[in-house]
Amino acid sequence: MRITDIKDMTLSTGEKRSNAMMDFSDMTTGFVAVVTDVMRDGRPVVGYGFSGTGRYSQNAICRDRMIPRIMAADPDTLQNDAGDNLDPFRVWDCMMQKEKPGGHGDRAVAAATLDMAVWDAAAKIAGQPLYRYLADNYGKSSVPDRVPVYVGGGYYAPGRGLPELQDEIRGHLDDGFVVVKMKIGGAPLDEDLKRLDAVLEIVPSDNLAVDANGRFDHAAAMQYADALAPLGLRWFEEPGFPLDFDLQAEVARHYDGPLATGENLLSMWDAKNLLRYGGLRLEKDYLQFDCALSYGICEYIRTIDMIEDHGWSRQRLYPHGGHLLSLHITAGLGLGGTEAYPRTHQPVGGFTDGLTIADGYVGLPDIPGLGFEGKSNLYETLKRLGTEPG
């Protein structure tokens, strides 16, 4: 078998809202389609990938370096030993040829976009949902019927006051979510505390997480930690710059409640340094590495091996992203739970249409691959790559 073509496109996906660090009005998302010569139902199997949420399309790196390497390779070197499917690790090694170690950043997003499409194709060729394919080939546990989910929201937006914030949170609870996350650090502390009070009228404190998106310097992180400590929140996320492990460790010494971080660490090695130097506590803190932004599933499996070598349970992994990839790896690789973006970061945010979300859990799609074909707004977008009929 062989890959016959790889198509890509970049679309504007901007939205009028902000976290503590940036607004999303100019956001773009990259999409790729990996076309194979394997036929299912009279058509070639096509795997799809996208470039994750919260970072821009890096398809230029795909086009300039990674796709040419894959298309130039001997097809036999990209397939499994049986010759009946792609081997995603072999494709990953191929696209990363001639790349120096380190210097992750945007390259990690590009590689993850292609990696997602390769895994989607491999699971489709196997005739399995991706979570089942992962569990059978790389997981260590059986697949659950549903997995814990929390909703990322509570953004800042022009003209958005406390009533609108409360309406949003009520909507999430009505949708079946239990744990809710809201942004902090985009307003002065006294204003953020009013926002928190408003949400705590609706959500118990141990079901409310807060996210500073790396905004705080040392003094502000300590000030917020002191203000948040009495509230008993679910977790305090990303207080300082993602690579400032010293600040993270200082917050961990100062703040007794659970902490969460990792969505802006883009490789296994960055994650390893977080565990070495970030002061995180394996019995209570959360690791949020985002598979779609950090070299994809191949690297995520290496990251899981690394955290377990450091004594951490994979149940402490709650991948950022709020999309289908995070859902599948959570179920298939036995992670603790997943984020959800049911209304933001469209069309990639959220899951397959009609999935049941209840009591803080989300069900799993029964569609081969990631199930893009069952998420209508995403599938309509993917059709623009020109690899689907109609």
Q: Which residues contact 329 (CB under 8 A, 6 or more apart)?
A: 131, 134, 291, 297, 300, 319, 335
> What dihedral angle (degrees, nearest 10) is formed by the CA atoms of 302, 78, 117, 2?
-170
Q: Is 299 in the site for Mg ion (CB under 5 A)?
A: no
- Of residues 211 and 299, the one with the C-beta less far from Mg ion: 211
Q: Are 352 and 371 in contact (CB under 8 A)?
A: yes
The yes-or-no answer on residue 124 being catalytic is: no
Closest CB to Mg ion among residues 211, 244: 211
Of 134-142, 192-200, 203-211, 291-299: span binding Mg ion (CB under 5 A) = 203-211
Contacts of residue 137, defined as CB under 8 A and 6 or more positions apart, other chains included, come to: none
Which member of 124, 320, 345, 375 is catalytic? 320
Closest C-alpha among 173, 292, 182, 189 to residue 235: 182
Looking at the Cβ atoms of 120 and 238, the one nearer to Mg ion is 238
Q: What type of residue sits at position 318?
A: Y
The only residue of 115, 211, 270, 299 in contact with Mg ion, by rule CB under 5 A = 211
Choosing from 104, 124, 181, 183, which is the catalytic residue? 183
Q: Which residue, 318, 319, 327, is CA-closest to 357? A: 327
Q: How far is the CB of 20 from Mg ion (least distance, A)?
A: 10
User: Closest by alpha carbon to 17, among 9, 7, 27?
Assistant: 27
The span of 126-134, 188-196, 204-212, 338-346 binding Mg ion (CB under 5 A) equals 204-212
CB of 45 to Mg ion, least distance (A): 34
Which residue, 211 or 270, has its beta carbon nearer to Mg ion?
211
* Closest CB to Mg ion among residues 120, 211: 211
Smallest distance, Å, CB 326 to Mg ion?
Answer: 13
Q: How far is the CB of 37 from Mg ion (least distance, A)?
A: 40
Beta carbon of residue 237, minimum distance to Mg ion (angstroms, whole number): 5
User: Is 310 considered catalytic here?
Assistant: no
CA separation for the pair 291, 95 (Å, rounded): 17
Q: Is the peptide bond before 347 cis (omega within 30 degrees of 0)?
A: yes
Catalytic residues: 183, 320
> Using CB under 5 A as the criterion, which residues of the chain lie in contact with Mg ion when the complex forms?
211
